[in-house]
Amino acid sequence: VRKGVPRSYPRTQEHRGNDGGYSKHRLPLNFISAHLEMLPTALQSTVRRLRKVAPITKAGVICGKNFSSQNQHDTSNYSHKHQDTIGPFGSFGTEYHKSIADPIEFWCNAAKELEWFQFPEQILDRSNAPIYKWFTDGQLNACYNALDVNCNKGLGEQVALYYDSPVTDSKRSYTYSQLLDEVSRFAGSLVDLGVQKGDRVVIYMPMIPEAIVSMLACARIGAVHSVVFGGFASRELATRIDDCKPKIIISASCGVEPTRIVEYQPLLKEALQLANHGKAISNCIIVQRDNVHQCEPLRGDTDLDYHEVLQKASPHDAVPMFSTDPQYVLYTSGTTGQPKGICRDVGGHAVALKWSMGRFYNTNEGETFWAASDIGWVVGHSYSVYGPLMQGCSTVIYEGKPVGTPDAGAFWRVIEDYKVKTIFAAPTAVRAMRQADPDGHFAGKYDLSSLQAFFLAGERADPDTLSWVNQHSNVPAIDHWWQTEIGFPGLGNALGLGYIPPKYGACAAPNCGYDVRILNADILEDDMDETKLLKQDNKQDESSLSSLSNSFELPVDLHGNIAMKLPLPPCASFTLYNDPDNARFLKEYIVTDTTTNNINSNNNKDSPMYYQTGDEGFLDGEGYVHAMGRTDDVINTAGHRLSTGAMEEVLLHHPDVAECAVIGVYHDIKGQVPIGFVTLVAGCSNVDDKALCGELIASVRKVIGPVAFFKKVQVVPSLPKTRSGKILRGTMRKIANGEEYRVTPTIEDAGVLDVLKPMIRELVEA
């Protein structure tokens, strides 16, 4: 068990055997348990007996778990200055149980922290289940709660927004009073241009303050903003224009990348020509970035200069909005070519974000919160704009990269400059920092004493990435999980309710309001195969196994589909834009324990209903949720359900590997087999690629076992990623399997695929 188990602590030579494994040192049993799925099956039952894991219990064990300080975990890696925040599970468990047992009272109390024009009498409307509605008769305004409320209570001179742009060598800051003034005047200009409550406004902008002003101005007058990544391809922008049919578009003359300027106006013009709705758009408001480039002239009477419009406008008051009115539409990836617009409501969104800032992120009035995200992603909406401002915090808008602007110390420098208490970034950003600065030299150059925690989300954070952050930031590195659809954390460490001791490989516990269950993937796929369950838990006897095969919910330690029992908490979306009968939403997200089809075809609405996350994982015996990746990243090799994420963890433990991707390819006999691709850390130019690949293959065989059939891996110069840092494993998988694929418009560098495509095909055919 000791030898070759994945590492969770900072790499030092004395910790590692000659083969890269822990051949000389014992590992804590709780760490081995956290990586149970990565051990050979013959050892799993032994580990379970050692840690006294409970036998089969009801899935969603955390709902009935008595979290107490008796749970012993190794927290020695964490800074002594944060030991006083490490509380027993009970402090979180108490609040969690309240949220599940009586969600109406729980979220009613949370709603009282906002200022309402009319406080809701009906907290939860169940009349059209599974389409639930929160705070239906309440009226409020998100912009009012983000700006006016803070100015009214004396925070007007506090900094609301820091703008930091290393790519343009410029910085700005806005106090709450200054931001309110600009937002209210720009809201007035939108009204002067004919924008009314309910009208859609597309925002196609880089990470500049005017983008945040535009979002808040829309919220102030009840317009529905739809943010599209600045620099998105014209055809993709046109598709979104046709779907949401905006009244106007707000854009900028350009965006700035480390090595180039991206002209937005030509892209916008082409999109308007391609879109059927293009001619119906009355105006485009453009932020002319004269300090960056020679701006293209505006088009006649249709294009308006942002600053000229702002100067002519009068302030506009916040408009009361019903809680169930739409706040924004944000497009996310779908299973078809049709864009999928997540429609977020005003009230639930505001209540959940306000609650989460203090209870989950432990960041409060007067402190600085930095979500290192583009506003085109849900993280940017929730935690670059609305959440921090509703909490009276200072937020950071960063126009730069984790490396190259100018170096791998960029994030550490921002933390020092603005005394950031909480940072939220993607694991890929950290891997880029680690690749460029493996020894953490840059972290030591800056004062990080303000920092309390480093949150990671967007994709699964491997143990080595978490360990590197923990070691060099000297604060807890916290992996947590959520989705565009739910809008705020679903799994993780609610820091404001008592720090939960970590398990590398797990996202800690479900957040308040989320009743997490693990569903039987075989039933959902209508493909019963008892051997799959047997392979994952070989201690089950035959009768128990038969019972499991017919269970819709799975017990602890068995892999399945991560789901959440309805109703979901506020902020979670139950509506897709242009889906008036909710048919698409119900088909893609909702299941019951009696059908896998659209809920409308099921007459038995008394059956439990679940929201499908699309991720695979398991609950362990201590209540930790292990999210292993998208269900697409689970492969079936000769009847064994294997997580490619678990294999990636093994590859990332090698000191020469910076990033990796493992994908499943078709196999005539085994169905699917995994192949891997790795990039190297800086300074590894003399590595023997063939020898390295041999070591990696041997490591996967040792840790996971020969059942993985991992026999092919290749060193590549880079991996294709989205602008948020997610590796495009799905696209790589389609290339490997000879399927048609579509290059996502969010890709950071399409040229990477051109280089990678022949390498993928060569590895498959080898």
Flag whether 715 is in a domain.
yes
Instruction: Single out the residue in 322, 343, 377 at which a domain terminates.
Output: 322
What span, in angstroms and rounded, lies between the C-alpha atoms of 221 and 39?
56
Q: Do 690 and 760 reside in the same domain of the chain?
A: yes
Strands 248-252 and 283-287, by their bridges, are parallel
Quick one: average pLDDT of 725-744? 88
Are the C-beta atoms of 284 and 248 separated by less than 8 Å?
yes
Q: In the predicted model, what is the mean pLDDT of residues 410-429?
A: 96
Q: Are residues 616 and 682 in the same domain?
A: no
Taking the mean position of all CA atoms in its chain, how far away is CA 559? Answer: 21
Strands 224-229 and 560-565: unpaired
| 90 in any annotated domain | no
How far is Cα 39 from Cα 27, in angstroms, rounded to an integer? 14
The 8-class DSSP code of residue 106 comes to H
Residues 533 and 614 in one domain: yes
Residue 525 has pLDDT above 60, yes or no: no
Q: Would the pLDDT of 566 be above 90?
A: yes
- Examine the fold and report which residue of 632, 653, 672 is the final residue of a domain before the chain moves on: 632
Q: Residue 593's Cα: distance from chain center in Å?
A: 28
| Res 663 pLDDT > 60 | yes
Where is average pLDDT lowest: 77-91, 571-585, 623-637?
77-91
In one letter, which amino acid is 385? V
What mean pLDDT value characterizes the chain?
A: 83
What is the torsion angle, in degrees rounded to the nearest 10, for the CA atoms of residue 332, residue 333, residue 338 and residue 343? -20
Question: What per-residue confidence (pLDDT) applies to 55?
Answer: 28
Q: Are residues 675 and 696 part of one domain?
A: yes
CA dist 162 to 173, 381, 676, Å? 5, 16, 41
Who contacts 668 (Cβ-Cβ below 8 Å, separation ≥6)? none
- Between CA 148 and CA 157 the distance in angstroms is 13
- What tokens does 486 get? 């739910």
Percent of the chain at pLDDT > 90 equals 60
Q: Cα(24)–Cα(313) distance, rounded to whole angstroms? A: 71
Region of 40 (left: φ > 0; alpha: ψ -120 to 50; beta: rest) is beta
Three-class DSSP category at 190:
helix
pLDDT of 638: 65
* CA–CA separation, 375 and 202 (whole Å): 13
Task: Supply the pLDDT for residue 69.
Answer: 29
The first and second tokens of residue 19, run together, are: 């083969």
Q: Assess whether 653 and 753 both reside in one domain.
A: yes
User: What one-character DSSP code corresponds to residue 500?
Assistant: P
In a domain, 723, yes or no: yes
Dihedral, CA atoms, 90, 96, 101, 106, nearest 10 degrees?
A: 120
Q: Is the pLDDT of residue 549 over 90?
A: no
| Residue pLDDT, tens place only, 176-204 | 999 999 999 999 999 999 999 999 999 99
- Alpha-carbon distances, residue 691 vs 38, 56, 684 (angstroms): 23, 43, 13
At 86, the pLDDT band (50, 70, 90 cuts) reads very low
Mean pLDDT of 625-644: 74
Give me the domain span that covers residue 203: 141-153+172-322
Q: Do 148 and 296 have their domain in common?
A: yes
Identify whether residues 666 and 698 lie together within a single domain. yes
User: What b/e readout covers 427-458, taking b as 16+ CB neighbours within 10 angstroms?
Assistant: bbbbbbbbbbbbebebbeebebeebbbbbbbb
Q: What is the mean pLDDT of residues 659-687?
A: 88
Count up the domains in the chain and report the number.
Answer: 3
419 three-state secondary structure: coil
Whether residue 119 is predicted with pLDDT greater than 90 in this model: the reply is yes
Amino acid at position 384, single letter? S
Q: d(Cα 423, Cα 362) in Å, to the nearest integer?
A: 11
Single out the residue of 728, 689, 658, 78 nearest to residue 408, CA to CA.
658
Instruction: Mention every residue, 6+ apart, whose C-beta is less than 8 A from residue 608.
Output: 565, 566, 592, 593
Rounded-to-integer distance, Cα 561 and Cα 643, Å: 12
Domain's final residue, options 290, 322, 354: 322
> How many secondary structure helices (H) and strands (E) does the chain include?
25, 32
pLDDT for position 334: 53
Supply the CATH number for residue 289's domain. 3.40.50.980
pLDDT at 740: 86
Q: In the structure encoding, which two tokens stand for residue 627, read together?
A: 């999210």
Q: What is the DSSP secondary-structure string of 516-583?
A: EEEE-HHHHTT---HHHHHHH-TT--HHHHHHHHT-SB--TT--EEEEEESSPPTT----BTT-TT-H
User: Rg of the chain's alpha carbons, rounded to an integer?
Assistant: 25
Query: Using CA atoms, how far apart are residues 579 and 54, in angstroms rounded to an integer?
Result: 44
Q: What is the mean pLDDT of residues 104-111?
A: 98
Alpha helices in 62-208 (DSSP H): 89-101, 103-111, 142-143, 149-152, 176-192
In the chain, pLDDT over 70 holds for what percent of residues?
A: 81
Question: Residue with structure tokens 């493996």?
Answer: 438
**Residue 360 maps to a domain:** no
Q: Is residue 262 part of a domain?
A: yes
Residue 112 reports pLDDT greater than 80: yes
Residue type, 676: G
Establish if 331 belongs to a structural domain: no
**Does residue 343 lie within any of the structural domains?**
no
Together in a domain, 704 and 747: yes
DSSP state of 144: I
Phi-psi bin for 484: left (phi > 0), alpha (psi -120 to 50), beta? alpha
pLDDT at 632: 67
Q: How confident is the model at residue 31 (pLDDT cuts 50, 70, 90)?
A: very low
pLDDT band at 541 (very low <50, low <70, confident <90, very high): very low
**DSSP-derived secondary structure letter, 320:** P
- pLDDT of 505 reads 77
Query: What is the average per-residue pLDDT within 491-518?
Result: 90
Do 534 and 661 sit in the same domain of this protein? no
Nearest-angstrom CA–CA distance, 361 and 36: 29
Residues 6+ apart with CB under 8 A from 688: none
- Counting beta carbons within 10 angstroms of the beta carbon of residue 11, is it exposed (0 to 12), middle (13 to 18) or buried (19 or more)? middle
pLDDT of residue 349: 98
Same domain, 49 and 177: no
Query: In terms of domains, do 604 and 684 share one?
Result: no
Task: Quote the CA–CA distance of 613 and 603 in Å, as a whole number.
Answer: 24
Q: What is the CATH number of the domain that holds 718?
A: 3.30.300.30
Q: For residues 546 and 443, which has the higher predicted lDDT (pLDDT)? A: 443
Confidence band for 461, pLDDT divided at 50, 70 and 90: confident
Extract the tokens encoding 221. Answer: 């007058």
What DSSP state is assigned to residue 607?
Answer: S
Contact 140, 159 (CB under 8 A): no
295 lies in the same domain as 313: yes
Residue 118 placed within a domain: no
Please report, for residues 122, 223, 488, 690, 725, the alpha-carbon distance to residue 732 in angstroms, rounded to integers and kept in the order given. Answer: 48, 39, 29, 22, 15
